[in-house]
Structure 1
Amino acid sequence: MVNWKVTRRCTAVFLVALVTALSCIGYQLFGREHQDTLRRADAILVLGGEHDGREEYGLDLAREGYASTVLVSDPYRPYGSVDQQIMPKVCNAGTPRIEVICFVPNPSTTRGEAMFVQQIARARHWKSVIVVSWRFHLVRARYIFGQCFDGNVIMRSVPRSYAQPLWLTAYTYSYQYGGLAKAALLGCDR
């Protein structure tokens, strides 16, 4: 005969242990800083995502001399109201010293962005790229670029506040875990 009281307690203990373990591992993977030391590269890639200052940060890195080409992923067409204000300005921010290339990744994911970088790097003989994204995404982006890009990757997180409510942190970690699993399953078409 099954003792339901013991079964429920064991299930509750297991679930608490699982959530605790996933939270601790999630913090190590997604909550801590995993960016690399800045050094000169062939290009700077700004991954699509929130307009949280990442586009301006990528352009600032180019102005500081870290690369003369800035690739800006623009996966959110047609534009929403915020995109209409930001993206045309970013895509036209090139100067005689800085080339800005806005592109729509296919697929419209980090994997599509990495595949685009591999394609343009091969055509231009690039060996390295600085990848700009938000802190929670760096580990997953590094993994995907490791699958899809033959060159060296320098990961940089957008300098901004990463404070958020606990429920949003739980969602963010879950999303990143799912993205890592998806990347492991899909790999990269080369």
Structure 2
Amino acid sequence: MQRLTVLAVSAFGAAAVGIAGLGVVGHFAYTKSRVDPMRPVDAVIVLGGEHDGREEYGIELARQGVSANVVLSHPYWRGDRKMAEFCAIQDQRFTVTCVPPQPSTTRGEALFTRDLAAQHGWNSVMVISWRYHLPRARYIFSRCFDGDIVMRPVPRDYDFRVAHWEYIYLYQTVGFVKAFFQGRC
């Protein structure tokens, strides 16, 4: 019985150290990830996720002259009224294109970016997503798109609990492993 107790305490301790380690590494790798400087690009690519201001941000960048092309990933259901509004925007300064990614993942978004770039002669793109998603998105896009990639986060505050951050760090890390084994597009 005493040996079982020692094993349980050891396992608990190892798990606590692992979780703490993931939190520290995740904080620097994901929460404080590298953000590229703002500059003009051929297209602004807004990755799917929450309607958290990302679409508005991509469109605002086009209004500021960062690009004449905005591509919104549209993995949402057909009746998503917010996406319908964004996809219907008509402005003489820029074009909004909405694309459902196949598959409905960051890789699918990188694939449609590669295809649109080849079709339109784009050499540079700006990718918009959550800051903690940028490292993995950069890795995936660099394996699919040969042009210049600028990574920018959705401007928002992240007010999550510790357990939520741990989940995010674990999710992003598993996503990196998956992307590594998927190879180039």
Indicate the TM-score class for this superposition, using the shorter chain for normalisation.
Answer: over 0.9
Q: TM-score by structure 2 length?
A: 0.93
Out of 110, 113, 117, the residue aligned to residue 109 of structure 2 is 113
CA distance in 1, matches of 2:16, 2:67: 47
Give unmatched runs, 5+ long, in structure 1.
Answer: none
% identical equivalent positions: 42
The letter for the 1-side match of 2:7 is T
2:126 aligned counterpart, secondary structure? strand
CA distance in 1, matches of 2:22, 2:88: 42
Q: TM-score by structure 1 length?
A: 0.91
Match of 1:141 in 2: 137
CA distance in 1, matches of 2:42, 2:163: 39
1:150 aligned counterpart, secondary structure? coil
CA distance in 1, matches of 2:18, 2:166: 13
Match of 1:3 in 2: 3
Q: How does 1:146-157 map to 2 (within 5 A)?
A: 146-157=142-153
CA distance in 2, matches of 1:62, 1:78: 25
Match of 2:46 in 1: 46
CA distance in 1, matches of 2:13, 2:162: 21
Q: How does 1:18-167 map to 2 (within 5 A)?
A: 18-79=18-79, 83-84=80-81, 86-167=82-163
1:70 aligned counterpart, secondary structure? strand
CA distance in 1, matches of 2:97, 2:166: 34
CA distance in 1, matches of 2:64, 2:25: 35
The letter for the 1-side match of 2:120 is R
Q: C-alpha offsets along residues 5-36 of structure 1, whole Å, 9 cap, x if unaligned?
A: 43333323222221111111111121114211
Q: C-alpha offsets along residues 143-170 of structure 1, whole Å, 9 cap, x if unaligned?
A: 1101111111100101111111222212
Q: How does 1:169-180 map to 2 (within 5 A)?
A: 169-180=165-176
With 161-170 and 7-16 compared, the bigger mean Cα shift is at 7-16
CA distance in 1, matches of 2:183, 2:145: 12
Q: CA deviation at 1:4?
A: 3.0
CA distance in 1, matches of 2:142, 2:8: 43
1:155 aligned counterpart, secondary structure? strand
RMSD: 1.7
1:17 aligned counterpart, secondary structure? helix
Q: C-alpha offsets along residues 111-163 of structure 1, whole Å, 9 cap, x if unaligned?
A: 00001111111122211100001112111101110111111110010111111
The letter for the 1-side match of 2:22 is L
Is contact 1:111-1:188 (8 Å) kept? no
Paired residues, number: 185
Q: CA deviation at 1:88?
A: 1.2
CA distance in 2, matches of 1:167, 1:8: 22
Give unmatched runs, 5+ long, in structure 2.
Answer: none
